[in-house]
Amino acid sequence: MAHEVFQHVPFPFPDGRFPHQLGATVQRTVADGELPALTVIHTADNSWVVLDGVNDPNLDGACVIDAMVHLVDDDPSLAVVARLDVGHRADREHVGDVWQAFPYEMED
């Protein structure tokens, strides 16, 4: 059953977990399970972006909107980034690696 998702949900999350209603911009390769999520960005405007770290997310049709909880269901190691501060990104080289977080500013 599909649920309505929202781009902005109050942060920090009460239980440190992604709320069911939180939607994110997700590269289609990640949403479809073709490639793992290797970059997660919590933008300055409190929205979320999940990237495969390989392909250009700016190409037409490269990204979709998906619920973060769906991504965590497919890859439970994503759950820890629910605490990622606004204006930060987290990267890893491979699934199973520790997420490395640092401040992030969107490029114009």
- 35 within some domain: yes
Mean pLDDT of the chain: 93
User: Can you say whether residue 107 is alpha, beta or left, with left for phi > 0 and alpha for psi between -120 and 50 degrees?
Assistant: beta
Coil, helix or strand at residue 79 = helix
**Which tokens go with 95?**
């699934």
The full DSSP string for 12-38 is S-TTSS--TTBEEEEEHHHHTTSS---
Domain hosting 70: range is: 25-95
For the stretch 88-107, pLDDT in tens is 999 999 999 999 999 997 76
Q: What is the mean pLDDT of residues 65-81?
A: 95
- 52 within some domain: yes
- 15 within some domain: no
* CB 21 within 8 Å of CB 6: yes
For the stretch 15-43, pLDDT in tens is 999 999 999 999 999 999 999 999 999 99
